[in-house]
Chain A
């Protein structure tokens, strides 16, 4: 079976980020970029499904040339080939879903796995939109995935308040990966060497026939307000007074 996994290049979640003076984005100089951690989990799940049921794992990423670094990182985990959608303009989740839908039309995968959200903008919409555009069944926030022996359905579990919910969806389907689905493997040194030889196909948005027309634009990024130091109060009366008059919560 063929599994398509989408990956996004994001700033390292551990990096200390600064906003550009004009507020349009973050300063990227000296910042390390990685595969979105939820997408890494998606890659791992795809590799496990392949190992159990045989088949092919393909990753796709959208952006400028630098995203091929993340494609290589996925190839070094064991993915078979990559698709690099070369697009340097701005786009929103709807555009991403539109581009991915075209890739799905070309590739005809049995399963499409996405991270449940990207840790940079935390939108978490592309998976749902993609399912809607394709008319595919979807199972979001997966914490466990089992493919039936006849490879026709997938049983997908997700964590809900106070328990688990398991759904069965017919293939082809969309799955989004949650944090506890698995622990991604290391890119082993031999696999890093093999990754060099694996094919990465470059395509453009136009060639795919996708239309990018953002509905959402980022107006401004601001840093969260700095926390001010607390004050010590002398008595309960003082405290009540401050809560009433300054904090205005009483």
Chain B
């Protein structure tokens, strides 16, 4: 058997062409079995984890509590989802794992612990380990007998991770490497049994190692006193002449970046989904509270400004969820087409994750910022009580903050989004320039389509097409204008970042618009139009508001590119106005209908 022929996966392709509902995976398509997995996770969280929140955050009992919970999670199979069956796992796909991540996210602390173990701690071995390493470690990681951690960051090297200073030197008898250095902010470091450590062989070749905790010379510093996720363990890992057997080199010498960055893509997708899970939980709390809290003789959930918050929360979470599962669906489909028994299967699978690194970065940034928005507005809905630690939203607010920082800061991920699209275009993998030329021709000949197609969400589909065109156009102007400077470090780190940040925002919002429409149309196919009133309202309100946002960012980018030359800006603005598609919507009225349902159902209910 060999790999099945399917269309080559194109990460970032959403920007250039229209999506098909047939290709889109929606969470409503989960099987009974996948939903049962998620139910077990929900039950585990409710019965085992949430009652121990206080204990988990207690400095002295943190480690034993986490270890106990991880063993229990391992016993019921929550840690083995993506580990292949031949190594004691379930060999399930990414979408299944995301669904379970969503459930675990009800505790920010435990989600961090579990995702660090089963994600970035375990997956480097799943995708980059050799047979012996997989056989030795995966069965134990699957059951929680061993807990894993991932050590990349150093004091002076956070976002600039590949600059790491930790050194590895081959021993004279060539039997082991001697590691020296310190890794910082390592999740699970208080109790992990093994660490994936990145170090430079001979100070040059960036390489991954599997390092066991019991190794002589390995120690951890004291627990960090964090702002949030206080129930997770975060310490520095110090290596002082730690001898690591040569058979524990993970992947090839000098190719550590493959696993270091490869698993981060998966980590980022999971983080996006965990943000959705956390958001749903907080929406529930906020609405329940607002339904009980009386002011002026009526519940505050009856006031427009509070209701608007709930509608916004719901719209953003619906969009994030749609993007997440669309992405995981594309990845799963591509991996399903591979020959599982081929010796290079895991390498090819890892390559597919890499193909979708643009979407992974989008999910990380978008998810963490939506969660940030939701917890912030939830605190506001609670009023003064939101600021008191006895109520659940204060903790959620603190816990959420780290999501915009870890697994690559949102700044690094924002840079990656347009940079990768441009890189792929240069390599000929994405036909960005071709698309740009088509759009420029449309502008020139005044042939921009502004007639919505008939059918459900016709206007919104045209809005999605418009968002894509505007984004490609603005990015195209930036590329044309600054082509020569794009290789200049000073430009890239300075003015370039101002521009790239805005382009990244446009690209993310465009992906959100596109994915939301596709999911709702998919739901129509699955359930019929009469059953999707809520998704339709969410889509209409979200797309309308977001298209306006994208158009405004485009105008700002073009203003920047014109550099205060009025006539140049006039040219750009004229082109933009030709591309722009505007329509009216009773946005507040739509949000009110959304809010009415949330207030009645007390939570994220479609």
Looking at the complex, which of A163-171, A190-198, A239-247 is the stretch in contact with chain B?
A190-198
A192 to chain B, nearest CB (A): 5
Nearest B residue (CB) for A185: B76
Contact (Cβ within 8 A) A189 B76:
yes
Contact (Cβ within 8 A) A190 B36:
no
* B147 contacts the other chain (CB 8 A): no
Contact (Cβ within 8 A) A69 B32:
yes
From A73, A189, A192, A196, residue with most partner B Cβ within 10 Å: A189
**Contact residues in B for A158 (Cβ distance below 8 Å):** none
* A76 contacts the other chain (CB 8 A): yes
Nearest A residue (CB) for B34: A192
**Contact residues in B for A192 (Cβ distance below 8 Å):** 33, 36-37, 40, 77
* B43 contacts the other chain (CB 8 A): yes
* A147 contacts the other chain (CB 8 A): no
Contact (Cβ within 8 A) A186 B40:
yes
* A188 contacts the other chain (CB 8 A): yes
Q: For chain A, what secondary structure do more than half of its interface residues adopt (helix, strand, loop), or is it mixed? A: helix
Contact (Cβ within 8 A) A189 B44:
no
Choice from A69, A73, A189, A196 contacting B77 with Cβ under 8 Å: A189
A72 to chain B, nearest CB (A): 7
From A188, A191, A192, A193, residue with most partner B Cβ within 10 Å: A192
Q: For chain B, what secondary structure do more than half of its interface residues adopt (helix, strand, loop), or is it mixed? A: helix
Contact (Cβ within 8 A) B36 A186:
no
Nearest B residue (CB) for A32: B39
**Contact residues in A for B78 (Cβ distance below 8 Å):** 189
Contact (Cβ within 8 A) B32 A187:
no
Count of chain A residues near B, Cβ 8 A: 14
A30 to B43, CA, bound (A): 19
A161 to B32, CA, bound (A): 44
* B75 contacts the other chain (CB 8 A): yes
Nearest B residue (CB) for A189: B77
* B80 contacts the other chain (CB 8 A): yes
Contact (Cβ within 8 A) B33 A188:
no
**Contact residues in B for A186 (Cβ distance below 8 Å):** 40, 43-44, 76
* B462 contacts the other chain (CB 8 A): no
* B419 contacts the other chain (CB 8 A): no
* 17 new A-B contacts at CB < 8 Å, known A189-B90, A192-B33: A30-B601, A30-B605, A69-B32, A72-B36, A186-B43, A187-B36, A187-B76, A188-B40, A188-B76, A188-B77, A189-B37, A189-B77, A189-B80, A190-B77, A192-B37, A193-B90, A196-B33
B interface with A by C-beta (< 8 Å): 32-33, 36-37, 39-40, 43-44, 75-78, 80-81, 90, 601, 605
28 contacts between A and B (CB under 8 A): A30-B601, A69-B32, A72-B32, A72-B36, A73-B36, A76-B36, A186-B40, A186-B44, A186-B76, A187-B39, A188-B40, A188-B76, A188-B77, A189-B37, A189-B40, A189-B77, A189-B78, A189-B80, A189-B81, A189-B90, A190-B77, A190-B90, A191-B77, A192-B36, A192-B40, A192-B77, A193-B33, A196-B33
